Amino acid sequence: MIDLIAKKYLFFIFSGLIIIPGTIALILWGLKPAVDFTGGSLIEFQIKNASKEVLKEDIKKIAEEQNVEVGSISKTSNNGFLLRLKPIDKNQNQNLNNDLKKHYGEIEEIRFETVGPTVGQETTKNAIKSVIIASIVIILYIAWAFRQIPKPYSSVKFGIVAVIALIHDILVVVGLFSIFGHFFKVEVDSLFITALLTIMGFSVHDTIVVFDRIRENLKKIPGVPFPQVVNESILQTLARSLSTSLTVLFTLSALLLFGGETIRWFIITLLIGIISGTYSSIFNAAPLLVIWETKERKNK
Amino acid sequence: MKSKRKLLWFIIFLVLFSTIVDLPQNYRIKFDIGSMKIDRVINAPSINIDLGRIKIKNDLKTHLGLDLSGGTHLVLEADMKNISSSDKEKAFDSAKNIVERRINLFGLTEPIVQKTKVGNSFRIIVEIPGISDVSSAIDLIGKTAQLAFYEEASQTANLATPSSVLELWSKKTDLTGSNLKRAEVTFDSKTGKPEVALEFDKVGAKLFEDITTQNVGKTVAIFLDDQLLSAPRVNEPIVGGKAVIQGNFSMDEAKRLSVSLNAGALPVPLKILEQRNIGATLGRESIDRSLIAGVIGLCIVGLFMLVNYGLLGLVADVALVIYTLMVFAMFKLIPVTLTLAGIAGFILSIGMAVDANILIFERMKEEIRWGKDYIHALSLGFDRAFPSIRDSNISSLITCGILYWFGTGIVRGFAITLAVGIVVSLFSAITITRSLLKLIYR
């Protein structure tokens, strides 16, 4: 039989290879927040009949003539443009539209969003609050759901380890997005927070399936050393873990390929998180439980 | 095995029911089969049940969020600086009321106006679906409400043409909303009927005394934003600045009138905190694309199950289709507003829906490896996989709950769709697959 537990440090190192650069990036550069968090305005429009090529610099000039401070301009499609601006009001938006029409003929405004800075701060606060509360509730729930595991094993430990695996997954995603943000200008918006919270749910879901098998085997085969029980439990649930992750990855890939521009990064966030969630529940959570348990035995 | 048969009938009923609910609105089917020509419009029925107290009304429409239908989302902040803390709730109610009233003036379709309090900030969220040009509506929404009192014009006014109310009461008085301190619903001490009590400030009391003295026996009209609110008859001069408007009000009517009056008495300037306009094309494109993605995702997952688990997989696929039908029916019945993130959540839940089946089938494979016969392994698979399915899904539901609790807008929509998906998936993966399998292996 394959002994996964013996290779546990290898798995930890692999996780570290992703998490450590990510965390460093997070400390150095942070995340690139979208207007949802910073406050600001976003205008996306399409020029109907462009006679000549439209240059981003020209659009910038037009906007600046209206005293609108431009953060960035990106091309979204053929003759479609996305402008990120300091917050502007409805009238400024109207004036800008009129000016653009003067230069380029008929344009269609696809979206206009403006968010005040206070709203942004609240979103951030709420996001952090929900991650913390979700973690606490999950520890409590697992401690309760696994209360019947045989002594001397404690269900609270199971809960805490599940949350450590969860934090692992969040760090992987947030760290990678800090790197993406720095190099590819990827912004995090409220959809990112949604994805993050879904990943939390999924991560714990996976971990519980593995833990459930450990619980069952502890009852069924008393006397077997703990590391061996855990190893066996991982192997027994491996097929399921892979199959489930695969089905989710299939649906997500379909969304990524056919699902449209607006949710692309949302889907990528979920993809990364779900791969990390499956990995961490098998290769981090269960081995961590072994380390904790055996350390405690030795100390006694 | 009567109960099993009952369960099967129940499942068949659910499938039929969900399919009927899922029918699209105004969908035209037109095709020819040889000489047969089929051309008809399909409509989902609407539910309208009235059981005395319980009224159920649901027109079974798919509710699309603004990111899918296109439209305008506004967050307004009410400036409560000049309102005393005891009157804040009243002023807030009135501010919401006035926003609603103004949007309705523009005849915009199905606007949603909600109140929300974030810390010390009183906010009104407005959602206006559709592509209509909302900029003039937004201009009006931001204005402060104008309450005015008018006296009857001289006898010449023609009572037969009520269409021109301003002709009837053409004499504007100096009394305005700023002279009104507050309005509230009180009850007549004799009859117990609801009435609306007005309280004026010092200047207002004097003005009101003059007006009522001059108009005994006549009516005085109260207008909000040039719309007639009420035209009570003056019975006697009112001194002291306190008046009541009596009428055959129901409790609701009295409440509505007092809220409208307060909009003038306790005016709160509204500031736009957040605005999002989403063009309709972007939304339509998103729906089409998500639909394609959903169908493709569903097919791949179905194929995967078939290849991996054979006949069992086929049964799981049937359950998965039923699952999809049921979830959509639930979205229409609850109703859940579908957003882009919500649709993604739903498609994600397709992947998760088969998880329970995978857990059960993998367990069965194990039981067979450990020497159990097929039929025995089947029921053991369900029984022994159940604790892990239960515990893992409860934890996912907990996260959904927290998302809903702390989230706003899109995050909430996502949480609801995911939660509906999880609950229905448990039913489809466990109850439906089990009944179907029992039907096959009797």
Q: Which residues of chain A make contact with B301, given a CB cutoff of 8 A?
A: 247, 250-251
Segment A58-100, tens digit of pLDDT: 888 888 887 777 877 877 777 788 888 887 877 788 888 888 8
Segment B22-33, tens digit of pLDDT: 777 666 666 676
> Could you confirm whether domain B71-278 is CATH 3.40.50.10880?
no
Q: Do B344 and A204 touch (CB under 8 A)?
A: no
Examine the domain organization and report whether A156 and A274 are in the same domain: yes
Examine the domain organization and report whether A98 and A229 are in the same domain: no
Local structure of B301: helix, strand or coil: helix
B321–chain A Cβ distance below 8 A for any pair: no
Domains: count for chain A: 2
Examine the domain organization and report whether A148 and A241 are in the same domain: yes
Examine the domain organization and report whether A142 and A108 are in the same domain: no
Q: What is the ipTM of this complex?
A: 0.79
Least CA distance to A37: which residue of chain B? B274
B292–chain A Cβ distance below 8 A for any pair: yes
Examine the domain organization and report whether A185 and A202 are in the same domain: yes
Measured between CB atoms, which of A109, A205, A216 is closest to B277? Answer: A109
- Interchain CB contacts (distance < 8 Å): A and B: 207
CATH number for A53: 3.30.70.260
Examine the domain organization and report whether A93 and A153 are in the same domain: no
B391–chain A Cβ distance below 8 A for any pair: yes
Instruction: Return the bridge partners of A144, or none.
Output: none
B341–chain A Cβ distance below 8 A for any pair: yes
Query: Which of A115, A140, A173 is the last residue in one of the domains?
Result: A115
- The domain spans of chain B are 71-278, 281-440
B293–chain A Cβ distance below 8 A for any pair: yes
Examine the domain organization and report whether A97 and A169 are in the same domain: no
Instruction: DSSP for A212-277, please give it.
Output: HHHHHHHHHSTTS-HHHHHHHHHHHHHHHHHHHHHHHHHHHHHHHHHS-STTHHHHHHHHHHHHHH
Burial track B316-349 (b if 16+ CB lie within 10 A, e otherwise): bbbbbebbbbbbbbbbbbeebbbbbbbbbbbbbb
B290–chain A Cβ distance below 8 A for any pair: yes
Fold classification of B281-440 (topology level): Multidrug efflux transporter AcrB transmembrane fold (1.20.1640)
Examine the domain organization and report whether A81 and A219 are in the same domain: no
Query: Which of A115, A146, A176 is the last residue in one of the domains?
Result: A115
Q: Do B388 and A108 touch (CB under 8 A)?
A: no
Examine the domain organization and report whether A175 and A231 are in the same domain: yes
Residue B352: φ, ψ to 5°: -75, -25
Q: Which helix (H) or strand (E) holds A82?
A: strand A80-85
Q: Distances from the Cα of A106 to the Cαs of A253, B125, B364, in angstroms? A: 36, 32, 64
B409-426 and B340-369 are packed helices; what angle lies between their axes, rounded to 10 degrees? Answer: 30
Query: Which of A115, A136, A156 is the last residue in one of the domains?
Result: A115
Examine the domain organization and report whether A139 and A267 are in the same domain: yes
| Euclidean distance between CA atoms A80 and A61, whole angstroms | 17
Examine the domain organization and report whether A73 and A124 are in the same domain: no
Q: Which two tokens stand for residue A42?
A: 């976003």
Q: Do B276 and A90 touch (CB under 8 A)?
A: no
Q: Do B402 and A137 touch (CB under 8 A)?
A: yes
Four-point Cα dihedral A176, A133, B392, A195, nearest 10: -30
CATH number for A158: 1.20.1640.10
pLDDT tens string, chain B, 442 residues long: the values are 567 778 888 888 888 888 888 777 666 666 676 676 666 666 666 666 666 666 666 666 777 777 777 778 888 888 887 777 888 888 888 888 878 877 776 666 667 788 887 777 888 888 877 655 666 667 777 676 778 888 876 554 445 554 555 667 777 788 887 788 888 888 888 888 888 888 888 888 888 888 888 888 888 888 887 778 888 888 888 888 888 888 778 888 888 888 888 877 777 888 888 887 777 676 777 778 888 888 888 899 999 999 999 999 999 999 999 998 999 888 888 878 787 778 777 877 777 788 888 989 999 988 998 888 888 888 888 888 888 888 888 888 888 888 788 776 667 777 888 889 889 988 888 888 888 888 887 6
Domain that holds residue A137: 5-35+118-299
Name the A residues in 150-179 with CB < 8 Å from any B CB.
none
Examine the domain organization and report whether A176 and A271 are in the same domain: yes
Q: Which residues of chain B make contact with A259, given a CB cutoff of 8 A?
A: 289-290, 293, 344
B396–chain A Cβ distance below 8 A for any pair: yes
A66–chain B Cβ distance below 8 A for any pair: no
A1–chain B Cβ distance below 8 A for any pair: no
